Amino acid sequence: MTNQLTGKAKRQRRIIKIIGTTKIPEQRTKVEISKKISIENKQSWKNMYSGVYDDIEKILLPQKIIEEEGRIPIKRGPRLLQNKGTGYYKLTKTGTLFLFCMEDNKAEIDFTEFTQQHDLGEELNLLYQISPALCFLLLEKYVSTCCMKGEDIVPITLENIGKITKFTLNCSIDFIKSMLSHNKENQRKILKILSHIDRQTLKSVTY
């Protein structure tokens, strides 16, 4: 999926990851973000800066994916700019949910903070503990569906979860229901078949 993204979309995802995973405020300014991305792309950060600037000012801030957390004084430039300083950013709840849904990301979040329905938040937390992969799939579909419909992704609601395209999820849900209906011996046999697809599946299974 990542390979199908445009260069601009990949850059925006990288900005979100940097802001969401970097603890030091000074490393979450436009300049420092540009430098990090330019190192990965092996190009001058000054050439990268204009793209990062537009992504932050025209996309990520207006869509409330990030917000300014504070400002850092600068030592160079006009006195007005020195006094005003340069902004550094943090993720909003929407941005944090985006970060969770990015491939190969290990962001841990408390879902009770992302829904007004406390029971739903606890259920999502439990699902994440039991099956992080299924929770990731559910939230990834949820976020992409809301984005395509132009709807807010936070707070998470049962109504919006119900709008998720069922094509992929149906397979997982049917599998879970079927597994629970069988005895342990049949479950073991099914897991053994699956081990040929993912040989890590049975490492924690005791025969």
- Structural domain 2-91, CATH architecture: Orthogonal Bundle (1.10)
8 A C-beta contact, residue 13 and residue 102: yes
State pTM to two decimals.
0.75
Per-residue pLDDT of the chain (207 residues; tens, 9 = 90+): 445 678 888 899 999 999 999 999 999 999 999 999 998 888 888 889 999 999 999 999 999 999 999 998 877 656 666 677 889 999 999 999 999 988 655 667 899 999 988 788 998 998 888 878 788 888 888 888 888 888 889 999 888 887 775 655 666 666 677 767 778 877 777 666 666 555 544 444 443
Amino acid found at 106: K
Domain boundaries, the chain: 2-91, 176-207
The region that residue 42 occupies, defined by phi over 0 for left and psi between -120 and 50 for alpha, beta otherwise, is: left
- C-alpha angle 186-187-193 in degrees, rounded to nearest 5: 90
